[in-house]
Amino acid sequence: MGEAMLWDLARTKGPEAAARAALNRIEAWADPALFIHRVPVEAVMAEARRLALEGPMGRPLWGVPYVVKDNIDVAGMPTTAACPGYAYTPKEDAPCLARLRAAGAMLLGKVNLDQFATGLVGVRSPYGTPRNALAPDCVPGGSSSGSASAVAAGIAGFSLGTDTAGSGRVPAGFQNIVGLKPSLGLVPTRGVVPACRSIDTVSVFAMTAAQAGEVLAVMAGPDAADPYSRAAPASWRATGGAVPPVLRVAVPEEAELVLDTPDDAALFRAALARLESLGAVLERVSIAPFLALARRLYDGAWVAERTAALREVVEHRADALHPVTRTILEGGLSRRTVDAFDDFHAQAGARLLARAIFARFDLLAVPTAPGLPTLEAVAAEPIAVNSRNGTYTNFVNLLDLSAVAVPAGFRGDGRPAGITLIAPAFAEALLCAVGGAVHHAAGLRLGASDEATPAPPPGAALAPDESALFCIGAHMSGLPLNGQVTSLGGRFLRRDRTRPEYRLHALGNRPGMVRAVGGAAIEGEVWALPTAAIGPLLAGVPAPLGFGTVALEAGPCLGFLAEASGVEGAPDITAHGGWRAWLAAQS
């Protein structure tokens, strides 16, 4: 039935068929450590019948079965955070979950996790360890262990996790699925048991980046009752982006890539090669301050923040805690305030580097984890192995960045590996577009199924509040002024070229295009911008350049033009066919 594609089943045969398939898969999978609480079968089917009767109108997730991590509130269902002695029963859904219900998604239940979302292994739970769907002798990844296993096993069309240190990315890398970690505050965390409340996020697991983006689009939005919630820019979108023809990607220095096996290293190199095949230009950079900051997450002020969230449990009910979790949380009681400022200053210094990197690059590509550890290895060294898992994830929320983890392939021993793409806050559309393309190019199966990874959907058309702008010079992707377009909410739509009616001139460091008899076709890029941003962008364009209607092969479009008098005496570079080709000829 295509268990890995419950989305397709819901959309082609309806919610009842999708619900039956998910419930059958739960029974066939037979993992007693997966669910902590299940929605009763009869209740799931009743919800499916209700959705089928009401229809999909206005419900983008109509009939898609999903699960949530058991540190997220579901009205009337206990929240345990994998600590039975902590359990409480909320009266209302967390806002993120309420938005999913309104969008027509069907909840199957609440799944297992590392206790209090403290860990990246998935074994720190009194409810047992969910089975890794791809490598049963290995950890499932944590802390969102059950969330990843349910998607990889084809039980859920998507799932919710949380991600503070990598809990929404590491399990994805360990189980051949996608993990989307949104920007801080984009999805409300009210109704979520805090880990480090100031840097907690609600994350999404799915088979594809496009699916994860669709879920995020439903959940995103501010919550007036959540002090850490924040509104995205007006131009923000979770999906609909396209891979720019020139993509600038930073990659850590070779010495900073410490991977477990030669196979892990080879898979990362292969993923980078796929990025290059998509047009990416890679450049090595040092991320040493990021890696140093990552180590502070479990050895500094943020441990104390974890302890503060659970102080009553730590001080008065510590026997209820998992032994490893107890060791970590009790360590927060001895942290000194004076030392916290060392952490905050290191964080500020790393953020300065992040700003510098993302001023030059669109993305930073890193391994999702150094490698996939076995259950035996974690049992022998529970803290050391866990810490290693967070090498390339711990720093991301501390730097206010967004990220997506996608599959990178399988080692010779059959264990999966992943690559993570990191971007500034609110760059989820770009992450989903590039992540989806890299995932598809790998030619892998989806999760633990036999289904091939589908091609990502094409970039979305213009939204009602957007206008198309044809760029021919330094505002194109990868060129010096492209940041002016992206900072205003611009997103790449497509390459295009004019009808053969224009001539191109070199005006110093930028081109000037004029309509002329005996002209030629000029290549450029079409970008979507919020209509309200067209004016501010034009205000920064110096004479003799401006905007006007350009005749493209695809039809008329607003674009960059020059006054005819402004190009008199300037070199005619029409024969090159475009500014990018002319630049290449000069170099």
Q: Give 378's contacts (C-beta < 8 A, 6+ positions apart).
A: 121, 123, 139, 385, 386
CA 363/CA 454 separation, integer angstroms: 23
- Distance, in Å, from the CA atom of 524 to the CA atom of 243, rounded to the nearest integer, reads 15
* Helix ranges restricted to H, 2-64: 6-13, 15-29, 41-54
SS3 assignment, position 76: coil
Element (H, E) at 283: strand 280-285
CA–CA dist 479, 28 (Å, integer): 53
State the amino acid at position 118 in one-letter form. T
Q: Which residue from 164, 161, 225 is spatially nearest to 190, judged by alpha carbons? A: 225
Q: Quote the DSSP letter at residue 182.
A: P
Q: How would you label 134-162 residue by residue, b for 16+ Cβ within 10 Å and e otherwise?
A: bbeebbbbbbbbbbbbbbbbbbbbbbbbb
Q: Which of 125, 145, 147, 167 is catalytic?
A: 167
Helix (H) or strand (E) holding 274: helix 262-277
Q: Return the SS3 of 289.
A: helix
- Please say if 277 is a catalytic residue: no
The owner of tokens 């090159």 is 576
Within 10 angstroms of residue 526's Cβ, the number of other Cβ atoms is 21
Distance, CA of 261 to CA of 31 (rounded, Å): 30
Q: Are strands 247-252 and 280-285 parallel, antiparallel or unpaired?
A: parallel
Contact 138, 379 (CB under 8 A): no
Catalytic status, residue 565: no
Match 């004019």 to its residue by tokens. 498
d(CA 372, CA 415): 7
d(CA 502, CA 518): 8
Sequence-distant (6+) residues with CB within 8 A of 279 are 243, 244, 245, 246, 247
The three-state DSSP-derived secondary structure of 383-394 is HHHHHHHCCCCC
Nearest to 373 by CA among 365, 363, 384, 364: 384
Closest to 203 (Cα-Cα) out of 138, 140, 142: 142
What's the DSSP call for residue 73? -
DSSP 204: E
Catalytic choice (110, 125, 143, 229): 143
Is 69 considered catalytic here?
Answer: yes
332's CB contacts (< 8 A; 6+ apart) are 303, 304, 305, 306, 307, 308, 314
Q: Which two tokens stand for residue 409?
A: 């392939």
Residues labelled as active-site residues: 69, 143, 167
